Amino acid sequence: MATLLLKKVWESVSNRSSISNSNSQRRHRSSHDDSSSSSFSSSIGAFDQIPSDILMQILRLLGPKEAAKMSVVCKLWKSLVSDDRLWIFFLQNRQDQHDSFDSIIFAETYLRSGAPLQALSGQLTEFSMMGIYGQRMLVPGSVIIDGGSGYCKFGWSKYACPSGRSATFLEFGNIESPMYSRLRQFFATIYSSRMQVKPSSQPVVLSIPICHYDDTEAAKASRRQLKEAIYTTLFDMNVPAVCAINQAILALYAARRTSGIVVNIGFQVTSIVPILNGKVMRKVGVEVVGLGALKLTGFLRELMQKNNLNFESLYTVRTLKENLCYVAADYEAELCKDTKASFKSGEGWFTLSKERFQTGEILFQPQIAGVRAMGLPQAVALCMDHCHAAELTGDDTWFKTIVLSGGTACLPGLAGRLEKELHELCSPSLSSGITVVPPPYGTDTAWFGAKFISNLSTFPRNWCMTKKQFRRKSRANLIW
């Protein structure tokens, strides 16, 4: 196959009238790659007359497997095949590759060593893109379960997006029943009923909902018990390897960051989580605001009832919130505008006006919904103040990137409004450089953070725990 393709391309090239002028310029590489340019002195016979860019096109047409085989022909082919640009092309054009190339570079640069993260500047110089491509091809893939606080997203790491949703494991079974029983029922439902796969077939990456926020001994014990229950349940179901990571950390990875503040608007509450080098800084303090998706949906329901908008289910209200509501850049100015918009739900057409932006405004002014709580900008500014005062690192900018996550965080205008108010609230030294990032993958942001890990060239080796390792660490009392 390779010979026929080479012959065909050679015949095409040799018929060009410009081929006689190609000898003087053949096989010149980029000026920054001096080490490989010397290899062009080796001969490939009749193909010496083909310019190097045409040879590179031949390799692209051959594909990764055949291109790799060409590296044993001679030094010139080896030099061409090892060119990072060729394997970047293959990575970008893999039919089963759903990650952007920027995401691949971020993951392979900063996440390949596993947790805890290390400073890996220049990591890619130690691994050629050809090597990374080959290693990623061998990754077995995994089951990803994002156990969010509202509902769970699950699917295969090799797929473009989650394949389904269900109630989160916190809602399975009687709330008074032991956690192990609830987890067992939850995982059995995901594996058997939803994904129809044996637990023993693939590793699992599980996102753990943000809970037990404090740095107290009681909170530490609660987090440890939850993780031990998760690992015990999955290993009892014969899952070969488990990677369980905090939901906020995964959302940060999805934004291609390893440090920053994650604002997770969950089902019941909103948590503001400072993360440094992939680790939650609980000693700095996780701020919690008693406003979540449920409260916003309930407030919209109240507004609709006041305006005699009749509906039959809370699901309809939630659908309207997700499709019509937004956050105003200037609340007072928005009150003077005509903001009517309509949406057809399962119950028919609904038209909302001021309710569209009044709903999200309670994140900034909780008192208009009768909630005694700190506004979101004040809570984030307080977290930033604590990060600044803690002086955890010489870099005083790590906490100035704020990443939003959660379904309600997808409200249009939220990121811009929060960034604007933070600039007004914070001192000039703190406000400089603040950036608020909307949920990079919408409601599935944490799931995609897990996907970055699942497709790493070092997965599952550097990220997962096996049953044997779990038992050994449990005996040593080292499970977080």
Alpha carbon separation from 377 to 128, 286, 364, 439, 466 (Å, rounded): 44, 14, 7, 17, 41
Please state the rounded mean pLDDT for residues 260-276.
95
pTM: 0.86
User: Both ends of the chain: CA-CA distance in Å?
Assistant: 54
What's the pLDDT at 96?
66
The top-scoring range by mean pLDDT among 73-87, 122-136, 285-299 is 285-299
pLDDT of res. 43: 61
Indicate if the alpha-carbon torsion angle 255, 260, 265, 267 is positive or negative.
positive
Q: Which CATH number fits domain 257-290+373-439: 3.40.109.10, 3.30.420.40, 1.20.120.1200, 3.30.70.580?
A: 3.30.420.40
Which class is 99-251+442-480 in CATH?
alpha beta
Binning pLDDT at 50, 70 and 90, where does residue 376 land? very high
The residue among 281, 287, 319 whose CA lies nearest residue 300 is 319
CA pair distance 467, 350, nearest whole angstrom: 53
Report the pLDDT value the prediction gives residue 38, as an integer from 0 to 100: 39
- Using CA atoms, how far apart are residues 248 and 262, in angstroms rounded to an integer? 6
- Domain boundaries, given as residue ranges, for the chain: 2-14+36-82, 99-251+442-480, 257-290+373-439, 291-371
Phi and psi at 404, nearest 5°, equal -90, 145
Average pLDDT (88-102) is: 81
Instruction: Say yes or no to pLDDT of 399 above 90.
Output: yes
Contact 10, 38 (CB under 8 A): no
3-state secondary structure the chain: CHHHHHHHHHHHHHCCHHHHHCHHHCCCCCCCCHHHHHHHHCCCHHHHHCCHHHHHHHHHHHCHHHHHHHCCCCHHHHHHHCCHHHHHHHHHCCCCCCCCHHHHHHHHHHCCCCCCCCCCCCHHHHCCHHHHHHHHHHCCCCEEEEECCCEEEEEECCCCCCCEEEECHHHCCCCCCCHHHHHHHHHHHHHHHHCCCCCCCCCEEEEECCCCCCCCHHHHHHHHHHHHHHHHHHHHCCCCCEEEEEHHHHHHHHCCCCCEEEEEECCCCEEEEEEECCEECCCCCCEEECCCHHHHHHHHHHHHHHCCCCCCCHHHHHHHHHHHCCCCCCHHHHCCCCCCEEEEECCEEEEECCHHHHHHHCCCCHHHHCCCCCCHHHHHHHHHHHHHHHCCCCCCCCCCEEEEECCHHHCCCHHHHHHHHHHHHCCHHHHCCCEEECCCCHHHHHHHHHHHHHCCCCCCCCCCECHHHHHHHHHCCCCC
User: Is the distance from CB of 285 to CB of 296 less than 8 angstroms?
Assistant: no
Q: What is the pLDDT of residues 151-161, one digit of tens each?
A: 889 999 989 99
Pairing relationship of beta strands 151-156 and 143-147 according to DSSP bridges:
antiparallel
Lowest mean pLDDT among 57-61, 92-96, 294-298: 92-96
Q: How far is CA 123 from CA 9, 134, 462, in A?
A: 37, 17, 15
pLDDT at 172: 52
Is the fold of 257-290+373-439 the same as that of 291-371? no
CA-derived radius of gyration, the chain? 27
| Beta-bridge partner residues of 242 | 204, 465
Rounded average pLDDT over 206-229: 87
Which range is most confident: 41-55, 123-137, 417-431? 417-431
Region 409-429: what's the mean pLDDT?
A: 96
| Least confident among 99-108, 300-309, 420-429 | 99-108
% of the chain exceeding 70 in pLDDT:
84
Instruction: Give the residue among 47, 40, 89 at the shortest CA–CA distance from 64.
Output: 89
Fold of 291-371: Actin; Chain A, domain 4 (3.90.640)
pLDDT for 446 beyond 90? yes
Quickly state the pLDDT bin for 39 (edges 50, 70, 90).
very low
Split at pLDDT 50, 70, 90, the class of 256 is very high
More confident residue, 138 or 4: 138
In which band, very low, low, confident or very high, does the pLDDT at 44 lie, cut at 50, 70 and 90? Answer: low
Most confident of 58-62, 172-176, 217-221, 233-237: 233-237
Query: Side chain identity at 4, as an amino acid letter?
Result: L
Select from 336, 331, 359 the least CA-distant residue to 420.
Answer: 331
Q: Which candidate, 182, 158, 399, 451, places its Cα nearest to that of 277?
A: 399
The mean per-residue pLDDT over the stretch 130-148 comes to 90
The residue type at 293: A
Q: CB–CB of 380/361 below 8 Å? A: no
Q: Is the pLDDT of residue 3 over 70?
A: no
95-104, 184-193, 228-237: least confidently modelled range: 95-104
Question: In whole angstroms, what is the distance from residue 255 CA to residue 244 CA?
Answer: 19
| pLDDT value, residue 33 | 43
- Burial of 41: CB neighbours in 10 Å, binned 0-12, 13-18, 19+: exposed
Residue 35 has pLDDT above 70, yes or no: no
**What's residue 177's pLDDT?**
63
Binning pLDDT at 50, 70 and 90, where does residue 196 land?
Answer: very high
Q: Taking residues 68-93, report their average pLDDT.
A: 85
Instruction: Identify the pLDDT of residue 99.
Output: 76
